[in-house]
């Protein structure tokens, strides 16, 4: 869902505007019905496939369907696995709802993906020390989020990383995406028109897209490294952030 910017550049104003637009969408019975039916359908499919998988009667076709629907998310990995599975299923529902709603409105659901790929490379156009720090934070936090959604690093759950990669890149490519605007207002408040602020958010999201993609690849190879790499990258990210703050205060 895209939002239109107003003169109120505060985070509260941005959220009020977004949820105001969302209320208008929810007043459309067709949109609400599509979202409800899609959520019920996917949930039922996930439940059936997860039960078949647990009993070992899923078969090749069922395994492909289970992979694509993230059906086994939350089944393994203890309490963390359950929490990650719930988060992953919520994110998947958001992705699928946006996809289906775009089709219903006769729009190309991937219209912003090409622009997002181009913009993800601009994430490296660092303007200040905050930007490489933001990029590293993006990679690190997305690896840790992906690890939570796939605690056991199971290939059957790896598809959530691909979905999240597409979501972030698509958000980067949209002129007024909710995620991009939210991060811009959250970290920079009224300085949303500052090109330096915009570059920092672009770096953060570009790093995040790379992190989700890298996590997916690591799972395909059976390597349980998402947690370790994610935590290690936090160290240089914090160091660059601290140095950036010191330089910023020194030159102010």
pLDDT tens profile 127-170: 888 899 999 999 999 999 999 999 988 888 999 999 999 999 99
- Write down the pLDDT at residue 252: 62
Closest of 115, 118, 97, 99 to residue 107, by C-alpha: 99
pLDDT band at 188 (very low <50, low <70, confident <90, very high): confident
In the predicted model, what is the mean pLDDT of the chain?
86
pLDDT reading at 26 higher than 70? no
- What is the per-residue pLDDT across 199-223, written as a single tens digit (0 to 9) for each? 999 999 999 999 999 999 998 887 7
**CA–CA separation, 144 and 148 (whole Å):** 6
- Kindly state the average pLDDT of the residues 216-245: 89
- What does the pLDDT average to over 244-249? 81
Q: What is the pLDDT of residue 3?
A: 42
Is it the case that residue 8 has pLDDT exceeding 60?
no
**pTM exceeding the 0.85 threshold for the entire prediction:** yes
Q: What is the mean pLDDT of residues 81-106?
A: 89
Q: Which residue has the higher pLDDT, 114 or 189?
A: 114
Q: Give me the residue spans of the domains in the chain.
A: 11-251
């Amino acid at each position: 869902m895209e939002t239109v910017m107003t003169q109120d550049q505060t985070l509260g104003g941005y959220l009020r505007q977004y949820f105001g637009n969302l209320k208008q969408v929810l007043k459309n019975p067709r949109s609400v019905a599509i979202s409800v039916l899609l959520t019920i359908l996917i949930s039922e499919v996930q439940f059936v496939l997860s039960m078949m998988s647990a009993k070992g009667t899923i078969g090749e076709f069922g395994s492909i369907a289970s992979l694509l629907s993230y059906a086994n998310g939350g089944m393994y990995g203890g309490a963390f696995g359950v929490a990650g599975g719930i988060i992953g299923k919520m994110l998947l529902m958001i992705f699928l709802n946006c996809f289906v709603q775009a089709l219903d409105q006769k729009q190309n659901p991937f219209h912003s993906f090409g622009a997002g790929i181009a913009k993800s490379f601009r994430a490296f156009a660092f303007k200040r020390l905050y930007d490489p720090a933001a990029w590293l934070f993006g990679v690190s936090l997305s690896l840790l989020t992906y690890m939570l959604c796939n605690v056991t690093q199971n290939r059957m759950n790896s598809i959530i990383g691909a979905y999240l990669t597409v979501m972030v890149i698509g958000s980067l490519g949209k002129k007024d995406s909710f995620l991009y605007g939210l991060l811009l207002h959250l970290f920079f408040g009224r300085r949303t028109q500052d090109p330096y602020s915009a570059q920092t958010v672009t770096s953060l999201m570009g790093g995040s897209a790379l992190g989700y993609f890298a996590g997916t690849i690591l799972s395909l190879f059976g390597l349980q490294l998402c947690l370790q790499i994610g935590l290690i990258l936090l160290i240089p990210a914090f160091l660059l952030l601290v140095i950036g703050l010191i330089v910023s205060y020194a030159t102010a």
